[in-house]
Structure formats: structure tokens, C-alpha cells
Amino acid sequence: MKKRVTGIGGIFFKVKDPAKTKSWYQNHLGLSTDQYGSTFEWRSSENPQQKGFTQWSPMKDDTTYFQPSEKDFMVNYRVENLTELVQELKAEGVTVLDEIEDTEYGKFVHILDPDGHNIELWEPVDEVYDELVKDKTKS
């Protein structure tokens, strides 16, 4: 297997009022926000023509999306070959929480780290994601 994690795909965290939090970050720190939060656009250091994205998402404090973790945040990591990686993680004894979900903008699966954090792994299809998200926070 070439690479496992290639970058941060997203940061998701619980807040009391997601709309208020997104508005605060937009007004005070200049983030372009939408219903999900903010999408940061960047370029690959190995291939500057290739765009990549990192999602920043405040979520309602009663979300069940992070379960079975009781933590207030979840990190999404970008990976190269999710199917192969999941096979290797299972062989290494890592807890894989679900089956790989295949969407138009990538494949996803959730695992647990040794501290009980739910970790989302994402094999992105950046070209499709780029078309889906219109307003991005750019450097």
C-alpha cells in the first residue's frame, strides 16, 4: 500500500447553535460558510493543478453522528485507497464501525482510535466535490 492518510479531510465539532457559530466565524474570521460549515480549498504540493478540500463543520451538540464516541469532535482524514486500507486496518485489529459508503464525491468509513474517538476516513473524488461546493474559503 502506498500511503494511508494523505491529509485532513475535515474537522467536525459539537456546538449549541451551529448557525450562530458559523456566523461568528464568517463575520470575525472571514470564513465562507454554508449549511454545512466552510470548505477550505487548497492545492496538492505534488501536483499544484490538483485541488483538495478540507471541511470545517460545527454540528448541533445533540448530533449522533460521532457515535459510539462520546467526544465533542471528530476528525476526517483523507486517504488514497480506502478499500485496501480497511482490509489492512482490520488485519491489524482496528475497530471498523461500518461498511464503506460509496458516494459521488468519495468513499467513507468510520473507525475507533484507542481513546474512543470516532475517526472518519475519506477517499475523495475532488473533482465532484469541487462542483458540489460553490462557496469556498480560499487562501
pLDDT in tens, the chain (139 residues): 678 999 999 999 999 999 999 999 999 999 999 999 999 999 988 889 989 999 999 999 999 999 999 999 999 999 999 999 999 999 999 999 999 999 999 999 999 999 999 999 999 999 999 898 988 988 7
- When the candidates are 3.40.50.300, 3.30.70.260, 3.10.180.10, 3.30.559.10, the CATH number that belongs to 5-138 is 3.10.180.10
Instruction: Give me the pLDDT at residue 1, please.
Output: 67
Residue count of the chain: 139
- What burial class does residue 52 get, using C-beta atoms within 10 Å of its C-beta: 0-12 exposed, 13-18 middle, 19+ buried? buried
By CB atoms closer than 10 A (0-12, 13-18, 19+), residue 57 is buried
Helix (H) or strand (E) holding 102: strand 101-103
